[in-house]
């Protein structure tokens, strides 16, 4: 199931990324500004993430779409060692499958220089800042998930809080800057982009 969830997330990322960033996109006629593009992407991915978390698959598997989530649950003793290893393998396989499916649907538009498989590379501030940013954003995400899911009054709001944070992450650091907050997502795009 973890593979299915991350596949859906990557498919959505690639489709929306192509719609927002491609020079051939029907959205181009809307004149979306460079500042608005990360906001549109954030909203699209937030809605996708929310739907996956609220789906029967997401509820059954705790919506493990991210190796950071799995490693946190392993560290807390909530996931068995071997289960965590297989979850992480499933994350990477699912992410690759999602990009592969997007490539079949979108064709050359997904590999165009303006989209480039939605690869995330370090921005103008370099590798160290990008790594620190990824680490901090993943920590904030996990802190939110753990805090809200362990308080009865907040449990039902966990998907909404994750979705709001997703929008904030995209606005704070555009999707092209390297801040994906998911190693499987970063790897799958980079694999297809040859980056």
Question: What are the sequence ranges of the domains in the chain?
Answer: 2-193
Closest CA to 65 of 81, 53, 83: 53
Contact 112, 23 (CB under 8 A): yes
Is the pLDDT at 33 greater than 90? The verdict is no
Is the pLDDT at 191 greater than 90? The verdict is yes
Write out the two tokens for 138. 């993943």
Per residue in 55-102, pLDDT (tens digit) is 876 666 556 688 888 888 899 898 899 999 999 999 999 999 999 999
- Average pLDDT, rounded, for the chain: 87
Q: Which pLDDT score is estimated for 177?
A: 59
Per residue in 115-138, pLDDT (tens digit) is 999 998 887 778 888 888 888 888
Q: What is the CATH number of domain 2-193?
A: 1.20.1080.10
Q: What percent of the chain has pLDDT over 70?
A: 92
Q: Which pLDDT score is estimated for 28?
A: 80
Q: Helices H, strands E: what count in the chain?
A: 9, 0
pTM: 0.89
C-alpha–C-alpha distance, residues 47 and 72, integer Å: 24
Q: Which pLDDT score is estimated for 150?
A: 87
Q: Which pLDDT score is estimated for 98?
A: 96
- From 16-20, 124-128, 146-150, the region with the lowest mean pLDDT: 124-128
Q: Which pLDDT score is estimated for 128?
A: 85
* φ, ψ (nearest 5 deg) of residue 112: -60, 150
CA distances from 189 to 55, 80, 111, 193 (A): 25, 29, 10, 6
Report the SS3 class of residue 161.
helix
Instruction: Read off the pLDDT of each residue in 152-163 and give the average, rounded to a whole number.
Output: 90
């Amino acid at each position: 199931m973890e593979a299915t969830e991350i596949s859906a997330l990557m498919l959505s990322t690639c489709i929306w990324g192509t719609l927002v960033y491609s020079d051939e996109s029907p959205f181009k006629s809307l004149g979306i500004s460079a500042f608005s593009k990360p906001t549109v992407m954030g909203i699209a991915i937030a809605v996708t993430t929310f739907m996956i978390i609220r789906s029967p698959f997401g509820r059954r598997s705790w919506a493990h779409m991210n190796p950071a989530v799995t490693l946190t649950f392993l560290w807390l003793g909530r996931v068995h060692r071997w289960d965590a290893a297989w979850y992480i393998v499933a994350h990477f396989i699912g992410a690759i499958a999602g990009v592969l499916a997007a490539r079949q649907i979108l064709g050359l538009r997904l590999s165009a220089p303006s989209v480039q498989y939605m690869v995330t590379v370090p921005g103008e501030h370099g590798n160290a800042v990008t790594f620190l940013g990824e680490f901090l954003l993943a920590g904030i995400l996990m802190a939110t998930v753990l805090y809200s899911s362990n308080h009865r009054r907040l449990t039902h709001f966990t998907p909404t809080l994750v979705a709001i944070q997703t929008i904030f992450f995209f606005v704070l650091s555009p999707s092209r800057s390297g801040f994906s907050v998911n190693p499987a997502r970063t790897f799958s795009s980079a694999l297809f982009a040859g980056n």
